Amino acid sequence: MKIDILHAGYCTAPEHIAIHGGRWKTIHFPAMFALFRHPQFGAMLFDTGYSYRFFDETKKFPKRLYRWMTPVHLKEEDLVVNQLATFNLQPKDITHVFISHFHADHIGSLPDLNCSRYVYLPHAFSGLRHLPPEEDMKHAFLRGLIPSDFDSRSQEVDITKPILLSEEYAPFKTGYDLLGDQSLIGVELPGHAYGQMGVFARDDDGKVFFFVADAAWLKRSIVENRPPHKIADMLFPDPVAYRQTLGQLQTYYLTHPDTHVIPSHCEETIQTLTTKAH
């Protein structure tokens, strides 16, 4: 499988919110997505970054606050569909989109991927589905980003059938074989959002990538087991679980120095891994 690390836009926020003891400086948080080209299943994505719909959906109050808190920067060439074109791919070629969680910076391009199957943990969406619209903000949920035929193309992960993971994945013990061939293993990373899913993938060179979504905003959080500023707890459904997950990620990181552990918004990590020429 070929793996490319890309991003669709970025937002800015103070570093000290993202990591306890960080600088007061405003830094960039790229909205990462990954392209998998699998010999059997074809082209697939992990998350989809931002799209211009973010601006449409945040025109009015109170959702406009979302823009103020995390100002978004997005250019035409950043759009997922335009980046796919540089790989000679069209949206219809994307067979699956693995959704880590349903925050706007991860699902911005779902409506463009109008032939794909959406794969996610059921509880990542079940709580949002019946949310009264006035509570959307609390969950960073922009319902206008959900395509109208979402249900017919959803393929929720069957959480009644976890697999036991080998020592290779320790301390993660159970996961989900997302395609049935062990090429993509989903693991739940609780705390940041309901049903947040991380994904392990291995490329043609045998290199392991661990996409940890927003279980940490910066790689340094994992390396130092250093959580965000306390104020960020307001954004998390389960701050205690968040810290447990972060501890597990640090253990994994320290014992797997050859794995690329990739938080979705860590600019340093994303820049290092982004493929410039396709």
Q: Kindly state the smallest distance separating residue 140's Cβ from Zn ion, in Å.
A: 8
Which residue, 201 or 212, is less far from Zn ion as judged by CB?
212
Closest Cα to residue 120, out of 51, 52, 45, 170?
A: 45
Return the range that interacts with Zn ion (CB under 5 A); candidates 64-72, 168-176, 208-216, 270-278: 208-216
Q: Burial level of 77, CB count in 10 A (0-12/13-18/19+)?
A: exposed
Give me the least distance between CB of 270 and Zn ion, in Å please. 12
Contact stretch for Zn ion (CB under 5 A) within 128-136, 180-188, 212-220, 229-237: 212-220
Q: Which of 214, 236, 260, 266 binds Zn ion (CB under 5 A)?
A: 214
Closer residue to Zn ion in complex, CB, 105/136: 105
Whole-angstrom distance, CA of residue 19 vs CA of residue 192: 14
Least Cβ distance, residue 183 to Zn ion (angstroms): 24
- For the bound state, the minimum distance from the C-beta of residue 58 to Zn ion, rounded and expressed in Å, comes to 15
103 contact partners, CB below 8 Å, separation of at least 6: 140, 141, 193, 214
Candidates 15, 47, 57, 105: give the one binding Zn ion (CB under 5 A).
105
Q: Does 57 bind Zn ion (CB under 5 A)?
A: no
Cβ proximity to Zn ion: between 179 and 191 the closer is 191
Element at 46 (helix H, strand E): strand 42-46
**Rule CB under 5 A: which of 65-104 touch Zn ion?**
103
Give the SS3 label for residue 133: helix
Q: Minimal distance in Å, beta carbon 132 to Zn ion?
A: 23
Stretch that binds Zn ion, among 15-23, 53-61, 152-160, 209-217 (CB under 5 A): 209-217
- Cβ atoms of 202 and 211 within 8 Å: the answer is no
> Of 165 and 187, which has the nearer Cβ to Zn ion?
187
135 and 97 Cβ atoms separated by less than 8 Å = no
Label residues 25-57 b or e (16+ Cβ within 10 Å = b): eebebbbbbbbbbbeebebbbbbbbbbebbeeb
Q: Taking the complex as a whole, how short is the minimal distance between the CB of residue 11 and Zn ion, in angstroms?
A: 9
DSSP 125: H
Residue number, 137 or 203, with CB nearest to Zn ion: 137
- Rounded to 5°, the CA angle 128-263-20 comes to 90
Q: Which two tokens stand for residue 91?
A: 């949206």
The residue count for binding Zn ion (CB under 5 A) is: 3
Answer for the pair 243, 3: CB distance below 8 angstroms, yes or no: no
Shortest spacing between CB 23 and Zn ion, in angstroms: 20
Per CB under 5 A, which region of 70-78, 105-113, 183-191, 202-210 contacts Zn ion?
A: 105-113
Please tell me whether residue 82 adopts helix, strand or coil conformation.
helix
Q: Which is nearer to Zn ion, 136 or 214 (CB)?
A: 214
Interacting residue ranges for Zn ion, rule: CB under 5 A? 103, 105, 214
